[in-house]
């Protein structure tokens, strides 16, 4: 008997319609999200935004932005990497502790850590100023901004790392290594951290992204000597020509995108290695 295909012409037309609809929605969302950024970048490269591209292209505004705000670029990355270092040093052990010691206390601690994410950034910054703003030398230093960024980004590091630890089944590996006499520190550094590397890299990507682009906390915590990229961007939009503000956006993207692409590549590479290290499932028969 001839085999009847279940894929009828009507079903084929339906599949094509679904594919076209999906592509249309994807393009519409991309245009909605990316379109304004592209227009802003073009505005920073035109001689006169109100005339349009017909006025010609120029790098004059980018040069002015660099001369006015170059110091905010290095300062921003300094804050971001210090924030990342603190979040990794605190977040990875804390994520493992929450994975090992599960219970009401662990859940309460995790919820407590999420408060800075739920509370508006200005409120968190005001609380930091009230509680720590009088400490000698702290209010005018970058570390004051770093403290605020750590409070905001640490929950993201902990959650991404803890999710990787739970999925990898590291509790069983840790117990097996403990029975062989490995110390707690050795187990953590040689078993837990390498196996949780994809989650750690994902958390690192999130922390860097949030820290570099964080405005609400930084705006209230900064001083004229500790201004960062987002604060400078807001100042340029408020007090200068639109072309300069748009050129600032271009500089911001040029500094941020290569870093994010590199970290995303590392995260994807770590994920592929983790999947390749997992042995294939075996089926047992009774």
- Provide the pLDDT for residue 166: 81
Distance in angstroms (rounded) separating the CA atoms of residues 80 and 63? 24
- Is residue 61, in this structure, part of any structural domain at all? no
- Is residue 126, in this structure, part of any structural domain at all? yes
pLDDT tens, 97-138? 888 887 777 777 777 777 777 788 888 888 888 888 888 788
Distance in angstroms (rounded) separating the CA atoms of residues 219 and 210? 14
**At residue 95, does pLDDT exceed 50?**
yes
Mean pLDDT of the chain: 79
- Is residue 68, in this structure, part of any structural domain at all? no
- Is residue 117, in this structure, part of any structural domain at all? yes
Distance in angstroms (rounded) separating the CA atoms of residues 45 and 253? 14
- Provide the pLDDT for residue 284: 40
- For residue 114, what is the domain's CATH number? 1.10.3720.10
Q: Tell me the pLDDT band of 213, cut-offs 50, 70 and 90.
A: confident
- Provide the pLDDT for residue 286: 38
Q: How many domains does one find in the chain? A: 1
- Is residue 199, in this structure, part of any structural domain at all? yes
Specify the pTM.
0.74
**At residue 144, does pLDDT exceed 90?**
yes
Q: Tell me the pLDDT band of 15, cut-offs 50, 70 and 90.
A: low
The domain containing residue 150 runs over which residues? 75-240
- Provide the pLDDT for residue 277: 55
pLDDT tens, 240-270? 677 777 887 787 777 777 777 777 777 677 6
Mean pLDDT of 46-67: 80
- Is residue 91, in this structure, part of any structural domain at all? yes
- Is residue 257, in this structure, part of any structural domain at all? no
């Amino acid at each position: 008997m001839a085999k009847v295909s279940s894929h009828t012409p009507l079903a084929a037309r339906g599949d094509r319609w679904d594919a076209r609809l999906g592509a249309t929605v994807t393009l519409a969302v991309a245009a909605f999200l990316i379109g304004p950024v592209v227009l802003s970048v073009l505005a920073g490269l035109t001689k006169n935004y109100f005339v349009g591209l017909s006025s010609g292209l120029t790098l004059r505004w980018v040069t002015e932005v660099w001369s006015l705000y170059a110091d905010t670029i290095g300062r921003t990355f300094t804050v971001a990497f210090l924030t990342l270092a603190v979040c990794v040093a605190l977040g990875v052990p804390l994520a493992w502790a929450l994975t090992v010691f599960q219970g009401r206390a662990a859940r309460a601690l995790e919820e407590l850590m999420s408060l800075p994410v739920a509370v508006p950034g200005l409120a968190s910054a005001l609380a930091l100023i009230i509680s720590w703003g009088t400490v000698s030398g702290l209010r005018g230093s970058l570390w004051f901004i770093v403290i605020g960024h750590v409070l905001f980004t640490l929950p993201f590091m902990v959650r991404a790392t803890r999710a990787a630890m739970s999925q990898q089944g590291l509790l069983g590996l840790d117990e097996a290594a403990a029975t062989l006499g490995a110390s707690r520190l050795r187990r953590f550094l040689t078993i837990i951290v390498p196996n949780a590397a994809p989650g750690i890299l994902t958390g690192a990507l999130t922390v860097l992204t949030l820290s570099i682009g964080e405005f609400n906390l930084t705006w209230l915590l900064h001083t004229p000597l500790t201004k960062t990229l987002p604060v400078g961007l807001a100042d340029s939009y408020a007090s200068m020509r639109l072309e300069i503000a748009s050129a600032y956006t271009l500089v911001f993207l040029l500094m941020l995108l290569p870093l994010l692409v590199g970290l995303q590549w590392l995260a994807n590479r770590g994920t592929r290695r983790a999947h390749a290290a997992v042995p294939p499932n075996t089926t047992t028969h009774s």
